[in-house]
Homo-oligomer: A and B are copies of this chain.
């Protein structure tokens, strides 16, 4: 149902203000990136574009559908990354998941939005198409390939949504230490610096991804 936006509002009206759905989506993504989902409102976006709030409703029937369209548009950009290469399956899958993670990481608000908006536009499906192709070639059954891709994707989403968020390592250290006492949490106290560093560590994605790929390799053998 939600996907019918494009057919309900099929073409750009002859705007007197230089408006178009694309222009609105672009500005919407900017506001999301800059101020976050919580600050995103129809009134705020209209102000950004210098138009009346209700003008937006000539291009998108609701805030929800506008957000869906922003998610779709930003997902389509993944296509080029997905159309990659040849080589050993582990390496190809690794590169694909790294590009997924990068794409998710560039727009943190998008990852948040995806929680309630499963992504099924053609552009967004390039990644699972490529991943499933690699997995089946590697020797997984259809069912195992699907479940395995799902595990990889959920890890990438988890990292994008809950991973490092600009917070500095020092801040994290302070936060961890101030909540601890040596009697109740001896190990965490002893590893406070390392735990704080891990929270800010972007390479945790690659660490987890390599654990997953190695575990997959073992399951194939």
Contacts and interface: CB of A to CB of B under 8 A. Distances in A.
A86 interface: no
A191 to B, nearest CB: 5
Interface residues of A, number: 66
A213 interface: yes
B195 A146 contact: yes
A195 B128 contact: yes
A97 interface: no
Interface string A169-197: 00000011011110011111011001101
Nearest to A125: B185
A13 interface: no
Contacts of A128: 188, 195
Contacts of A148: 207, 211
A132 interface: yes
A215 interface: yes
Contacts of A143: 194, 197-198
A175 B2 CA distance: 11
Top 4 closest A-B pairs, CB basis?
Answer: A158-B158, A211-B215, A151-B208, A214-B215
Given A120-B175, A120-B179, 5 more contacts: A112-B115, A145-B191, A146-B197, A158-B162, A161-B161
